[in-house]
Structure formats: C-alpha cells, structure tokens
Amino acid sequence: MANDLSITVNGRLHPVDASPDTPLLYVLSNELSLHGPRFGCGLAQCGSCSVLLDGVEVRSCQTPVAAVAGKAVTTLEGLAAWYAQQNGLAAAPALHPLQQAFIDEQAPQCGYCTNGMIVKGSELLARNPRPSEAQIRAAMDGHMCRCGTYPRVMKAIQVASRAIAGATP
Ligand code: FES
Ligand code: FES
C-alpha cells in the first residue's frame, strides 16, 4: 500500500510503497530494480549491500528506508553521474573511474562483493584522491571478499586514483 514516503536515488525522487522500517536494500531491489547492491550477510558485516548516503557509505541492509528520506542515495548504477557532479564535469563518463579500473585490472572473481568494494572505494577517492596503501587498507577493512581478491582490489583503487589525478584539475 502506498504511503507518503519518497526517497531520492541517483538524482531522482521515487515514491516508496514499502513500510518505513523496510531495509533500504529491499526497496532498491524490489521497487526500483537496482540490483547493484547485493544481499550478503544482512547484518551490516560484509559490505555487499553498500550505497552512498549524502556521499557517505552505509549498509543498506540495515538502513530503514525512512531514514534516507530527504537525503541523496547513490547506488552503483549512479556512481558515474555522482562522480561527474562531484568534480564539476560537463557530462558523466560511462563508468566511474573505479568501475573502469575494476574491469581493466580484472579485480572481481565471483563479483559478489564488487558493489561494496566499488562504492566504498569511490567514497574514499572522493575525500582522498591519492590514498596511501595503508589508507586504502583502513578504508576497505569492513568489506569482505570470500574469493580473496583483496590484492586486485587494492591495485584497482590505485589505478583509479592515478586516473582521477590525470582527469581532474
Ligand atoms: S548484506 Fe549488508 S553488510 Fe552484508
Ligand atoms: S569476488 Fe567473490 S566475494 Fe569478492
């Protein structure tokens, strides 16, 4: 049943049918057909469901949809446009530089954790475009990869960092 709740996701306002305490992840998947965020643990432990909320990574499996009303949710699908907006670019690239780096470096294996890795990595690069290896490790600490792709994730973030440095003033 429809209620008065609306949320802004990837720059567009969407009415929400679900009850206010429904996890944001379910609304993104079931109502908006945004399948970048994945259900992993459901306990805010693994990071596969991560999205940006006003530019800060949150776990959408443990975030009630009512809690994001009036804020800007960015999912994997909206990262390139978010990046363009953050950097004052006239047009959004096809992919966020970190998405491109994940492809170029073949960072994913099964890909289940990839959403969270890219969302968190993008948050890091937005506030610290040239992170050290230690800073990348610290930022990514709460993101689990059962395939053990951590070295390739590290490399992809470093590659994206260099790409961003070359692409932005
Ligand atoms: S599914 Fe949300 S943190 Fe694991
Ligand atoms: S690539 Fe399989 S869980 Fe990370």
Q: What is the structure's pLDDT at 3?
A: 76
- Ligand 2 pocket, residue 130 CB under 6 Å: no
Gap from CA of 31 to ligand 1 centroid (Å): 19
> Both tokens of residue 167?
């692409």
Averaged pLDDT, groups of 10, the chain, 169 residues long: 86 98 98 98 98 98 98 98 96 97 98 98 97 98 98 98 82
Q: Of 30, 28, 33, 21, nearest to 52 (Cα)? A: 28
Q: Of the ligands numbered here, which is closest to the C-alpha atom of 62? A: 1
| Helix residue ranges per DSSP H, 47-113 | 79-86, 97-104
Work out which ligand 1 atom sits closest to the CA atom of 42.
Answer: 1
DSSP state, residue 66: G
pTM of the predicted structure, to 2 decimals: 0.96
Domains of the chain with bracketed CATH: 6-77 (3.10.20.30), 79-164 (1.10.150.120)
Given this model, what pLDDT does residue 133 score? 98
Q: Is 99 helix (H, G, I), strand (E, B) or coil?
A: helix
CA distance 91 to 37: 24
pLDDT at residue number 1: 52
Which ligand is closest in space to the CA of residue 41?
1
CA distances to 18, 22, 29 from 26, in Å? 9, 7, 5
Q: Ligand 2: which of 41, 103, 109 to mutate, judged by most atoms within 8 Å of the beta carbon?
A: 109
